[in-house]
Structure 1
Amino acid sequence: MTKNKLVQATIKNFAAYGYQGATMSRIAKDVGIKPASIYYFFCE
């Protein structure tokens, strides 16, 4: 479930801030997790 939230938050941030402005910090904040936790969901 959180992985889907991360994908949706990423799309939202890319649309709002572009490639250069969409940071892991912003994406993580939108989902309510720490930025380092993103690796848990995508790097296995």
Structure 2
Amino acid sequence: MRGISLCSIAGCTHEAEEAGMCNMHFTSALVHGALHYTTAGRPLHS
């Protein structure tokens, strides 16, 4: 069972999340997504 591969390909599955293999990846995705959304929605530099 390749948890890391599943995490990279399918994102964070419940099994991988419970195993604690995708916490950092999931957090990074949220942060990156939030920054991208903020930049696209409200540019810091007018």
Same fold (TM over 0.5): no
Task: Give the structure-1-normalised TM-score.
Answer: 0.39
Task: Give the structure-2-normalised TM-score.
Answer: 0.37
Higher helix share: 1
Could you say which structure has the greater relative contact order, defined with CA pairs below 8 angstroms and 6 or more residues apart? 1
